[in-house]
Chain A
Amino acid sequence: MNKAKQTIKKLYQQPLADKIWRNFVIGVPYFWLLLFFLAPFAIVLKISFATPIVALPPFTPLLDLSANADHWLLATWDNYRFLTEDNLYWISYFKSIKIAAISTFICLLIGYPMAYGIARATATTRNILLMLVILPFWTSFLLRVYAWMGLLGKNGIVNSLLFNLGLINAPLQMLYTDIAVYLGIVYTYIPFMILPLYATLEKMDTSLHDAAADLGAKPWQTFIDVTLPLSKPGIIAGSLLVFIPAIGEYVIPALLGGIDSLMIGRTLYDEFFVNRDWPLAAAVATLLLVIVVIPIMLFQRSQQE
């Protein structure tokens, strides 16, 4: 027993063991990400060149190596051609970018003063306020979107409140509109804006403000000249953290948006689940990836600085 233990200990101390350990720690997560994160993109790309068929899986193989095949390569641009020819896809791409951009800007407008207030609060208050920002993030995303359905619906709280106050005679159509989509995106993504902003504002040396004030700057000038430029990294990180996932958002337009509220994420989802056109969905995904890949790289660069 003791001898076995000794042998194990000795094995453990071989230089080989160190190498194995190192390769294990690097290799396992690396391999996992290659297999389940990077390789799938290659497959999406591949299938976006396939032709849909009624079968399982519902697309043709790309290579036909049988002897009687006319062409061994069965790749086709049809899916991409279809995307450019049908207005629907153009509209939903631009609508996604527009909605994501405007929502990001609203998040910044609401989130910046909040982050500023939290960063300038006393230590105890700051911890409580921060927790209040993070708390919704931990609770169900789906249910937070659902909460707005109850508020905005035809028989919802807001309508009945306005009606009882005598401000309206007939219920307003708020749910299933673009406004509801904006509200939903801002509501669910605002913690992603506040947290990086808070992180940069909190690190900022307050004596810089005192120095600016001492040199004769009015509070708003101090803000424009000192605070705002120095919080640029936080603004960039927060904006990208809101913008990127908002572009591909599916749940919010599906629950709060109208039937015509075609954001690209929803188009992709419907193409896949409703029309069962996998190759077309893959082509939509590829183009969506092209749109988000630049902001993602920007985000990663901002994280490394």
Chain B
Amino acid sequence: MNRDDRMTTQRSTKPYVAATPWLDPKAVPFIQIKNLSKQFDKFTAVDKVNLDIYQGELFTILGGSGCGKSTLLRMLAGFEEPSAGQIIIDGVDMANIPAYDRPINMMFQSYAVFPHMTVEQNIGYGLKKDNLPKAEIATRVKEMLDLVQLGDLAARKPHHLSGGQRQRVALARALIKQPKVLLLDEPLAALDKKLREQTQFELINLQYELGITFVVVTHDQEEAMTLSDRLAVMNTGKFIQTGTPTQVYESPINRFVADFFGTINFFNATVISSDPAAKKLSAKLEKTGTKLDANSETAFAEGAEVTIAVRPEKIIISQKRPDGDHITITKGTVEDLAYYGNRSLYRIRSQSGRIIQVSAQNYQRSEALTLEWDDEVFLSWDSSCNVVLSE
């Protein structure tokens, strides 16, 4: 069987995967992480993490530095031994299976391209360690070189390559063994901005084409949003929220997650009435007493303290008082504004004295600013944009 057959059979026998396997109760997770912990001396890097990742998914673990995401990835790869818990991949418990025997390959943050080997030797290294015949290694390396468009550079040494080329060598080297899972540690962090955007889409296409499960670790929330099918937000060794990018962005479960993804306005409020069956909640803002409605499936007692969160881009800014149902309206003056070209960012001081951030698209072409400092404005947003947070 040559490689072409294998690739096609692999693709054709790839089981039917629902677009959202995590919603399907019958779907069997491909990677199961159960109560996984890692302790370094007294420091807990990863704290009883549970996670299911499904076949063919592009899953991202997102978090700031020191949140434990790299340790988690290294435990998956087999470089760190878990202090407690279990990792199961494709039904096999990974305990006591060393890194070199796992059906997993990794793309390192530094790319870790072997500096003393040519591009070709780098990519072929994994197959050579599997003791494959030379001829087969040669054909598969050539195909992989073509796939990542490095055919011309096969005989080059890494120090003659650009950052983007090194990244593709690292990727090709990790993919050539056709792993069940590819781990990517900050895959785009070392690239400059333009190249990063382009590479991002290349990665997604490649993952879709090969059907390999990708687990990405990153600290960059934009990268996480554009790449992932699903993502997990991690902090101090724990998963805070797991979901699709839109879920996590639009319905954060607490202030930490809400704050992690871009800017957001928080208002303290008191619950007036709560009707979880109808997904309705109404509340009163702390200072002004402004009444507002929101959607919430959680039941709150009357008088409970909650936080209402609103994204800046949901807020409409206008000089006339807007009308309509189900909208929240407040009044204020322009304290500060920043012009970004495609959009403008306003900092509005409301009547209660708090600062509200508003992001507005610049629809019209105008060399004069439509709003100036100290202008009186009305802010309004649809009540469905109010996110109710209990912590």
Q: Residues of A at under 8 Å CB distance from B?
A: 9, 15, 18
A9 vs B98: C-alpha distance in the bound complex, in angstroms? 18
User: Could you write out 3 A-B pairs with CB less than 8 Å apart?
Assistant: A9-B131, A15-B98, A18-B98
B102 to chain A, nearest CB (A): 14
Residue of A nearest to B129 (CB): A13
A170 vs B98: C-alpha distance in the bound complex, in angstroms? 80
A18 vs B99: C-alpha distance in the bound complex, in angstroms? 13
Chain B residues lying within 8 Å of A15, measured Cβ to Cβ, are: 98
Chain A residues lying within 8 Å of B98, measured Cβ to Cβ, are: 15, 18
Residue of A nearest to B96 (CB): A15
Q: Chain A interface mostly helix, strand, loop or mixed?
A: helix
A15 vs B98: C-alpha distance in the bound complex, in angstroms? 9
A-B pairs with lowest CB-CB distance, top 3: A9-B131, A18-B98, A15-B98
Q: Residues of B at under 8 Å CB distance from A?
A: 98, 131
Chain B residues lying within 8 Å of A9, measured Cβ to Cβ, are: 131
Total cross-chain contacts (CB, 8 A) = 3
Residue of B nearest to A13 (CB): B131
Residue of B nearest to A10 (CB): B131
Residue of B nearest to A9 (CB): B131
A139 vs B14: C-alpha distance in the bound complex, in angstroms? 69
A18 vs B131: C-alpha distance in the bound complex, in angstroms? 17
A60 vs B131: C-alpha distance in the bound complex, in angstroms? 62
Chain A residues lying within 8 Å of B131, measured Cβ to Cβ, are: 9
B243 to chain A, nearest CB (A): 40
B96 to chain A, nearest CB (A): 9
A132 vs B264: C-alpha distance in the bound complex, in angstroms? 61
A36 to chain B, nearest CB (A): 34
A9 vs B131: C-alpha distance in the bound complex, in angstroms? 9
Residue of B nearest to A6 (CB): B131
Chain B residues lying within 8 Å of A18, measured Cβ to Cβ, are: 98
A18 vs B98: C-alpha distance in the bound complex, in angstroms? 11
Residue of A nearest to B131 (CB): A9
A124 to chain B, nearest CB (A): 22
A211 vs B98: C-alpha distance in the bound complex, in angstroms? 51
A9 vs B132: C-alpha distance in the bound complex, in angstroms? 12
A4 to chain B, nearest CB (A): 15
A18 vs B101: C-alpha distance in the bound complex, in angstroms? 13
A10 vs B131: C-alpha distance in the bound complex, in angstroms? 10
B130 to chain A, nearest CB (A): 10
A137 vs B103: C-alpha distance in the bound complex, in angstroms? 52
A15 vs B131: C-alpha distance in the bound complex, in angstroms? 17
A9 vs B128: C-alpha distance in the bound complex, in angstroms? 12
A65 to chain B, nearest CB (A): 48
A24 vs B131: C-alpha distance in the bound complex, in angstroms? 25
A16 to chain B, nearest CB (A): 13
Residue of B nearest to A18 (CB): B98
A9 vs B129: C-alpha distance in the bound complex, in angstroms? 11
A5 to chain B, nearest CB (A): 10
A19 to chain B, nearest CB (A): 11
A6 to chain B, nearest CB (A): 9
A18 vs B100: C-alpha distance in the bound complex, in angstroms? 11
A15 vs B97: C-alpha distance in the bound complex, in angstroms? 10
A15 vs B100: C-alpha distance in the bound complex, in angstroms? 11
